Amino acid sequence: MKRLLFTITCILVCSYCGPCVQRAAAQTHESYLRSTTHQERIEHRAERLAALEQQIDSIVLSHNFEFNPQSVQIQPAGQLHMFANANFMTIVWRGTLDICLPYYTGIVAPYRYVVLNQVAPLLKNYLTVQTHYGWQVSFNTTLDDGNDYTFTYDIYSHGGATLTIASTWYNTVQYTGTITKIY
């Protein structure tokens, strides 16, 4: 009888305390997994960003890259236009510039929409400077219309970029897009 009473008491105590103990153990284990996973995600993200930064550094220092714009805006405070054409790009390759971009000419509105589609074989004053956000690449060239243009690429360490084209005769035009490696 004592044995039966002791067994029933143990079963009742275990059935009451068991889930509480299991829940506490599961919460401890779950928080441990969550913190470990969070730490692993932080380390993995840091490794990925470092690899991307090294890739961008390599692309910029090779002086061979492609800029793919996604939007254009006339400076100062012009209207932002998004691109639907994947063929717009600039390619800097071995000291030449291959450009196919929409461009807005004129000093005051209404601006005239033209497409710069040509190869500039001579890039003057080519300058590459590392900044706190990534890189800045700038150079001057004269295109077929006889105007002198200054191209300035602000290349961010995450792969995004801004291209600013300044001319002595027209307003500055700014493009936002990405930088990719030429294969």
Please tell me the pTM assigned to this model. 0.72
Q: How many CA atoms lie within 13 A of 172 on its CB side?
A: 11
Q: What pLDDT does 11 receive?
A: 63
As a whole number, mean pLDDT of residues 41-54 equals: 86
CATH code of 63-181, in short, is 2.40.128.410
Closest CA to 91 of 123, 114, 45, 57: 123
Tens digits of per-residue pLDDT, 81-125? Answer: 788 777 889 999 888 889 999 887 777 677 777 788 888 888 889
70 secondary structure, DSSP code: E
Phi-psi region of 146 (alpha: psi -120 to 50; beta: other; left: phi over 0): left
Q: What pLDDT does 175 receive?
A: 93
Q: How far is residue 6's CA from residue 26's CA, in Å, rounded to a whole number?
A: 29
